[in-house]
Amino acid sequence: MDKCDFGLVQKIFESGEVVNTGEQDITVKDIPDTDKTGVMDCREFFIRSAIYAFQKSVPMKFSVEGMRMTTKTYSLDCCTKEIKDSSFEIDSNGRNVKVFSYVSADKDAETLPVMIYIHGGSFIASKAEFYKEPCRYVAENLGCRVFNVEYSLAPENLYPAAIEDICAVIAELCNNADAHKVDNTKIGLFGDSAGANLVLAAILDNKSDAKISYAGLFYPCVDLYSRDSLYKWDLAMYDVADEQKELINSRLQLGRADGQGNNDLMAAILYAYAGNRYDEIKRSPDVSPIYADLSNMPYTGIFAAEYDGLRIQAEYYSRLLDKAGIPNKHIRYRGVSHAFLDYFGILPQAQASVLEMCEQVRKVWGN
């Protein structure tokens, strides 16, 4: 796949209309090279059509093995200068946790702010190294050190192992700041999908002295239970053109909470993550953050996909932040669906959203 035109990235980054839904303000970013609505970005359509055709030809039920076999990313290098890559390991309750580090080569001698990335994959799949390109891009654009955590996956390591691993990394960077050449007064976390869920869980469960000042949530899962009807979920809330209805509706099943879709998918993910503790923890704040006390959360950026079943719960979470008095910005990218960050450098929305996050972090850190 070809790298997207940076002119399209800039157009998305520099544009946006603030829409008031009656409940909240959402910044909506249009597809950069068409005026059509109700459709996928042409690049997204090409990618998702191919995947959907394969899924229809080889139907598979949800399974850990299936998720791990099919979870891949196709990101491209978008950096303009040399980035130094390294890694180290720490202990987390007897588990070895590998941490990848990225920094601009010309800044490696400096003490720098910190961004920690947590990958998605339904808590059971994917790898940190799949997301090195957006991490390297953040390191270049923010002039910080980015740490990418290879946390323990379920079901081999059930809840709360992944959260413990991330908290252990936060504590390591906070307690040994000099060794890692980091400014532990400027720490931000970002993640996508299940990784965004783990970002919030780690902030809520953080016992270290780290003062986390930013949370970047890309198409986050904030309600794993999805059955309490705390927010309305309706297919009519999505603008879908008839000619793409079948494909787009296939992208809306994760997080669907109207009793009509594949709610069993969320239940299967939660069971794989929590095992026999499913009923005990389904409303736990560090599993479904919509049940958390949000009064001490940091500035939060939410980067949502128009065609994502999780979009509605992310909007609800943003409203909860508003009620708690927590500054946040909610952006909806038209024409893309869940996991658009997997195509960093290919989908202009992926690169533009990371640039937007960097801009938010600069303001929070006062850079």
106-132: pLDDT as tens digits: 999 999 999 999 999 999 999 999 999
Could you tell me if residue 326 is inside a domain? yes
Q: Which two tokens stand for residue 281?
A: 């923890």
Decide if 215 is inside a domain: yes
pLDDT of amino acid 276: 93
pLDDT of residue 281: 92
Where residue 209 sits, what CATH number does that domain have? Answer: 3.40.50.1820
| 143 within 8 A of 128, measured Cβ to Cβ | no
1 within domain boundaries = no
Planar angle of CA 247, 256, 305, nearest 5 degrees: 60
The residues of the chain scoring below 50 in pLDDT are 262
Give domain status of residue 314, yes or no.
Answer: yes
Q: Is residue 265 part of a domain?
A: yes
Closest to 232 (Cα-Cα) out of 211, 250, 259:
259
pLDDT value for 164:
99
Q: How far is CA 8 from the centre of its chain?
A: 22
Asked if residue 344 belongs to a domain, the reply is: yes
Let me know if residue 99 belongs to a domain.
yes
**CA dist 199 → 113, 164, 231, 331 (Å):** 17, 11, 22, 18
Inside any domain, residue 85: yes
**Radius of gyration (Cα) for the chain, nearest Å?**
19
- Residue 160 preceded by cis peptide, ω within 30: yes
Provide the number of structural domains found in the chain: 1
Report the pLDDT value the prediction gives residue 353, as an integer from 0 to 100. 99
Residue indicated by tokens 């390294």: 86
- The residue range of the domain holding 128 is 6-365
What value, to the nearest 5°, has the Cα angle with vertex 197 and ends 30 and 247?
45
Phi and psi, residue 257, nearest 5°? -130, 40
| The one-letter amino acid at 48 | R
Residue in 21, 1, 165, 180 with CA at minimum distance from that of residue 97? 165
